[in-house]
Structure 1
Amino acid sequence: MVKMDIKLKKYFQSIQIHSKGKYIKTYIFLVVLRVCLVFLPQFGYIHPDEFFQSVEVPTGEEFQLEHTRTWEFNNTMPIRSIVVPYIIYKIPLNLYRLLAMYVRYFIGWDIRTPYMVFIVPRLVMCLISFVNDWSLYETCLEYGLRYDIRLLALASSFVTIVFATRTFSNSIEMALCSLLLYVVANCMVHTNSVIFQREFLDEKYKASKTPVERVKIHKMRSHLPPHTVSKCYIVSTIFVIGLFNRPTFLFFGTPIVFFWMVRGLGTKTISFLDFNYRFFSLLGCGIPVVILFIVVDSMYYGFLTLSDIEYLEFGMNNFVVTPLNFIRYNIDPANTAGHGVHPRYLHLLVNIPLLFNALGVIAIFSAVHMIFRFSQNHYRHLPRAQSVVALMNAAIFVPAAILSLINHQEPRFLLPITFPVIILHAPKLITGFCATNPFDENNRIGHVIYRHLLCTKASADRLLKCWYAVNIVLAAFFGIIHQGGVIQLTQYFQPPNAFSIRPDLSPNVFLITSHLYNIPTAYLFQPSTKTLLINPDNGQKYTRKKQFFLYEYGGLPMDELQQKVKLLLDVNEMRLHHDKRNYKLYLAIPSSLTEDLSIALFRSNHTMVKYQRIKMFYPHLSMEAFPNFFLRHLTEIRTDVFDLDQKCDFYDNRKEIEPYSLNAALRRFSAIVHNFGLVLYRVEVRRKNTFSE
């Protein structure tokens, strides 16, 4: 078996010479594009966890800003380790703040801007994403595989361009999984090489006839490099970091580590004793890292203090194990159901094809084909149990199958399987799904399927074009369009001098949102109301009063939303009358709901409420308020009920235009464009002097 792997490696290396570097220029262009899209930046908002499970807390604490500490970071039962977010986000932000301080002192430039605070974490994630590229390249070199098409597929995937450069814990999990796969694959090659040389020398030793020859062979055997526990500390450290970053790494890392433990098992020199030795070596190397994470988390969440350590006054209750809390929470189906219930087949039949489009479909068909061959006892057509193909297949379908047992499933949960999917199936983008016919000669139906449904080499160009097209569309959707107005909305409300320490005398601001994802509070750059400050003019200590109030109502119906707006408006009018407290009230909704809100306002008969459109943010698409392209959505809310009849007809203007004229087509196009926006309204009480005419 080992000899076969060595021969295959040499064979692939000979093939690689003729095809090396064909797509490297395109890959370099995509790498530059990946970095440029970080600096533009992309305003697409994929999921609230992009901020609230990662960068929200470190940013707020580093710059003393108001921020949202979600329930995952509570002090009673925290389920998120703080170590990885602090290393990846807080340390770079701290270095950036120190750099800005020195630049301002020596040069006079203030480079500490909200834009840079937003970009720095994504730039760090972009650099981390290249761990996937490096691991893929090195693995291809180890096994003599063609790396150019694989690097091209990885760099052109929207998973890499969008998801891998965002501040998801899943993106870190993806990089760690790719690195672990490379390390284990490298150890497998090293072990196979050493075992091959060892068995060869053993045969020579037995065949030797003179003592001198035996001594020479024995010296050669003694100089063979160790391999039994090679890179044990690296494997265990990656596994522990991945486990504390996101405990689902247990599902992704366990099958990979298992291949590290069984490599070479069954040969003459490796026995089950080596398997046990490797297992306990991993435990021993991982314990110090586990202790470090537990101690840091316990101190951060207040379970353990320095005085407790100094006087050795601590017990089991002074320590918190965040992965254990994570598992305890998610093992209850009722808890996961609170985040959304999905069918069990969603990962395999929807999420994998969504993330990897053509390659995802190919991966699923390949797995079905292997199961079919196994059921037909065609074992010689299956990958060898300890081969890199078996390793990559296990890294794909073992975690996907386990995660399918959980009733809450999202595509980003499967980001770590990107590396094995690419390394196994990326060449099929240029060779086709099957380079040779997998069906028997007598199977006519199989021949028809192969010729028309499976991608042969002749139609591989279309498969590559399909790969490009789908990834461009999904990159534009998730990276730019989806909830794209939310981050732009935060930039609108950022103070002119976001990092000023002087008291702000501006009026209170109230923002109501509906049918939007949660706004990352730290990026509003509102100074923290819990930080003690000193006025540089008189040395007086003070804390800021809260001046920005956010009310997020999710998918509230427009009639109920109008009642919430009216209630908050009445409360602030009372404060204005009694305490002279000025205020500004804003409402942000997708532009596709403008007409619904107009109708709700007409029904409520609130004639004294005035809506004034302040800003439109493009592009923006809320799946919770998907546009209706058959209606003419306005961006202005009609609040002057004296101009409306009792029928509330908003469509009379269409009768004035010819239905098939150029003007009608332009209006239809304008209506469609206005559907993809986020509109911000200023809500006021209509005073006597504000009535027109």
Structure 2
Amino acid sequence: MKLKRYINQLWLRHRNTDENWYTYLFFLVLRVVLVFIPQKGYVHPDEFFQSVEVMTGDHFQLEHVRTWEFNNTMPLRSITLQFVLLRVPWSFLEFFALYTRRYLDIELLQSYTYLVFPRLIMCALSFINDWSMYRICRLFSLNYEIRLLALGSSWVMLIFGTRTFSNTIELALCSLLLALVAECMIKTNTIIYKKEMLEERYDKAKSISERVRMWRLCKSLPAHNYSHTLLVASICVVGVFNRPTFIVYGAPMVFYWLLRGMGTKTITFRDFNFRMLLFCLSALPALVFFIICDSFYYKYLTVGELQMLQLSINNFVSTPWNFIKYNLDAKKTAEHGIHPKYLHLLVNIPLLYNVLGVVTVVSFAYLLTRFLRAEYQGLPRAQSIISLMTSAIFVPLFFLSLINHQEPRFLLPLLFPIVLLHAPKLYHGLCPNYPFKEEHPLMRKIYNMLLCTQASARPLLKTWYMCNIALAIFFGFIHQAGIFPLTQHLETVMQSKAPAEHIHLITSHIYNVPLTFMNMPSTQVLHLHRETGRRFRRHKDFYIYEYGSLSMPQLVAKIKLIQSYCENKYVSKQQKYRLYLALPASLSDNMLAELQTSGASSNMRTQLKRIFYPHISTEALPRLNFRNDFKTTAHSKLSYSYVSAQLSLFVNEFGLALYELQPARKSQTEKLQTVKLSKRKI
């Protein structure tokens, strides 16, 4: 019976392993497929305006928005890493696009490519997380199937992992650094154990030949004291220049890299100090490279000054230092929003990691309770992988919680250590055995629902899947998802309009619109005419007015002001213009009612051009509108026609409406009648 039970357990474990592995491969393919669909969801403006908007606009000389973080006076963002990851690949794609345009008559350089190609690069970069997870699991003999499954199925990896956030790069760099530090830790521990064992056998050896053999074996052990020093230091420099918050993420990892082996006979504080010194020296090449590249880009340094060696401290710029100085000013960070200190712990972690986030917080509270009770036997060893991952979670979480402005994406690098520590709980449950002393029906029911490990009931894994699917759909395909189709539509409008026609776009209650997706040549640079070889500057014919979340009366006042400006500027010169308004469809009725109330509808005609589905703005959520006409037809009863009409109206609000606003000009007959009436009065 025992043998049969053992065989069944092995077979079940093998079946579960294969199931987890194939499910992970499915999510791996899904991650790549979601890049090409593409995901039209718009998570945050920094997704474009801290990387793609600037790099694509600079490279292809397109009209783009250059945010305040990239000004030459006090630049806060390093351009070097973005240049390597985006600008260099753009050069190869541009070269390839010349041949597809000439021989295949296919235009690659369009809005779809500007969106998908950078995401494809970030998707390739995201596989660093998978490799690092597999590497650590193999080094420490951990179950990598369930951890890779949790990593691949997380909506953070599916959505954020393929987006052009600096936080996504930070996630990959932290994962890689954790893998290197973990490898150095286990290598050092193994070699120190072998060395101490050989030294003990050397002392106990009775013959000279035995001692010589032990001495040779001890000397043949590989070096470990300064393993991966240059690589670890360079990753830290790249991480800090990518986002200076990498300091709080990398500090515990570097500390464990410096601390490994301490407390043994062979590793002393001298080794600790030498490691620190060598780490600082190894960071210098990458540090100098980034500073010089940023100084050239922001025009602090020129080739002539470098050749003549006419250099001073003012010729160099350190973007991380500018970033830190800016964020140390509480008034400046308050401009981006003030959040409570507990937001990261109680809101952002559960939002990003749902089940595993809650388990992480509860597990840390349990460890803290043991520490306060002086139950040190139940705490992880100081130099263990568990201690490393716990520090990698809660040290940066503590320091980031002290900052006024807190967004969920700031915690993306916590995904890797959270999954490594707690992913098996999704499959095996929080408690392997029945924890209660007495069998009780209610306790047994709670255990079976939440804590059991039976294959037929895995509530944590099911909850994990459902939450990640829901969040991936919302942020990947619904949240602000009408903005990219809007830019594609405007790209067509700009290409088909008359040369002298001007386009004006007003937006409200939506995120900022990336102009590079409209594929318009820049008006700020000189362009080269391919046939004549002459330089020319393109005149500005597109204007955008982004008003955030203005109240409807204020928005209508802005519309009237812009229309009167356009009438005075273009009609008097017999030029044409088009005025568009883009806002969530849930606000269409309010906008039309405000136009009617303010009297602007008599001088302005609104024409609905298109509604881009799906689209949800959290600033203007869809709502059920119980109109009087439906109540009258239904005779205050919930008839089928009434319910279907209400649902239809509700569904139609999940869109981004584009209106064309035209002046209500009088016809020729109306003008003649007005003239006759005026003559009669005279």
**What is the TM-score when the length of structure 1 is the normalising length?**
0.91
Decide whether the 8 Å contact of 2:604 with 2:661 is kept in 1: yes
Matched, 1:679 2:674: no
* Matched residue, 1:407: 404
Using the alignment, how far apart are the partners of 1:272 and 1:143 within structure 2? 27
Count of residue pairs brought into register by the alignment? 656
Using the alignment, how far apart are the partners of 2:319 and 2:561 within structure 1? 41
Provide, for residues 566-616 of structure 1, a one-character-per-residue CA deviation record: whole Å limited to 9, x for no partner: 111111112233211210000001011112112211221121111000000
**For structure 1, which runs of at least 5 residues remain unmatched after alignment?**
1-14, 633-650
* Matched residue, 1:644: none
Decide whether the 8 Å contact of 1:171 with 1:415 is kept in 2: yes
Q: 1:655 aligns with which of 632, 643, 647?
A: 632
Q: 2:182 aligns with which of 166, 182, 185?
A: 185
Aligned letter for 2:614? P
Aligned letter for 1:367? F
* Matched residue, 1:3: none
Using the alignment, how far apart are the partners of 1:356 and 1:105 within structure 2? 48
Matched, 1:456 2:452: yes
Matched, 1:523 2:501: no
CA shift at 1:537, angstroms?
5.1
Provide, for residues 600-633 of structure 1, a one-character-per-residue CA deviation record: whole Å limited to 9, x for no partner: 112211211110000000111111112222445x
Decide whether the 8 Å contact of 2:450 with 2:460 is kept in 1: no
Using the alignment, how far apart are the partners of 2:467 and 2:64 within structure 1? 36
* Matched residue, 2:432: 435
Aligned letter for 2:571? H
CA shift at 1:430, angstroms?
1.0
Aligned letter for 1:678? L
Q: 1:61 aligns with which of 49, 55, 58?
A: 58
Q: 1:471 aligns with which of 468, 472, 481?
A: 468
* Matched residue, 2:241: 244
Decide whether the 8 Å contact of 2:134 with 2:144 is kept in 1: yes
Output the aligned Cα RMSD: 2.4
Decide whether the 8 Å contact of 1:428 with 1:460 is kept in 2: no
SS of the aligned residue for 1:542 comes to: strand
* Matched residue, 2:289: 292
Using the alignment, how far apart are the partners of 1:230 and 1:620 within structure 2? 51
Using the alignment, how far apart are the partners of 1:436 and 1:405 within structure 2? 39
CA shift at 1:673, angstroms?
0.6
Q: 1:664 aligns with which of 642, 654, 658?
A: 642
SS of the aligned residue for 1:679 comes to: strand
Matched, 1:260 2:257: yes
Decide whether the 8 Å contact of 1:45 with 1:479 is kept in 2: yes
Alignment of 1:48-447 (within 5 A): 48-436=45-433
* Matched residue, 1:4: none
SS of the aligned residue for 1:483 comes to: coil
Aligned letter for 2:113? M
Using the alignment, how far apart are the partners of 2:50 and 2:617 within structure 1? 21
Matched, 1:545 2:511: no
Decide whether the 8 Å contact of 1:42 with 1:479 is kept in 2: yes
Decide whether the 8 Å contact of 2:509 with 2:584 is kept in 1: yes
Decide whether the 8 Å contact of 2:229 with 2:278 is kept in 1: yes
For the structure 1 residues 691 and 330, does the alpha-carbon distance in structure 2 shift closer, same or farther, using more than 3 Å as the test? farther
Q: 2:599 aligns with which of 588, 602, 605?
A: 605
SS of the aligned residue for 2:548 comes to: coil
SS of the aligned residue for 1:625 comes to: coil
Using the alignment, how far apart are the partners of 1:416 and 1:480 within structure 2? 23
Matched, 1:569 2:546: no
Aligned letter for 2:188? T
Aligned letter for 1:656? T
Matched, 1:27 2:21: no
Using the alignment, how far apart are the partners of 2:395 and 2:439 within structure 1? 32
For the structure 1 residues 690 and 342, does the alpha-carbon distance in structure 2 shift closer, same or farther, using more than 3 Å as the test? farther
Aligned letter for 1:664? Y
Aligned letter for 1:622? S
Provide, for residues 471-525 of structure 1, a one-character-per-residue CA deviation record: whole Å limited to 9, x for no partner: 1110011111111111111111114797x9xx97151000000001011121121
Aligned letter for 1:684? Q
Using the alignment, how far apart are the partners of 2:448 and 2:466 within structure 1? 21
Provide, for residues 222-269 of structure 1, a one-character-per-residue CA deviation record: whole Å limited to 9, x for no partner: 110000010111111111100000000001011011111101100111
CA shift at 1:540, angstroms?
4.3
Which region of structure 1 is more displaced relative to structure 2, 36-45 or 210-219? 210-219
* Matched residue, 2:674: none
Decide whether the 8 Å contact of 1:22 with 1:148 is kept in 2: no
**For structure 2, which runs of at least 5 residues remain unmatched after alignment?**
1-11, 671-682
Provide, for residues 544-580 of structure 1, a one-character-per-residue CA deviation record: whole Å limited to 9, x for no partner: 0011100000011111111111111111112233211
Using the alignment, how far apart are the partners of 1:449 and 1:653 within structure 2? 48
For the structure 1 residues 17 and 225, does the alpha-carbon distance in structure 2 shift closer, same or farther, using more than 3 Å as the test? farther
CA shift at 1:661, angstroms?
2.1
CA shift at 1:117, angstroms?
2.1
CA shift at 1:535, angstroms?
3.7
Decide whether the 8 Å contact of 1:251 with 1:402 is kept in 2: yes
Matched, 1:627 2:605: no
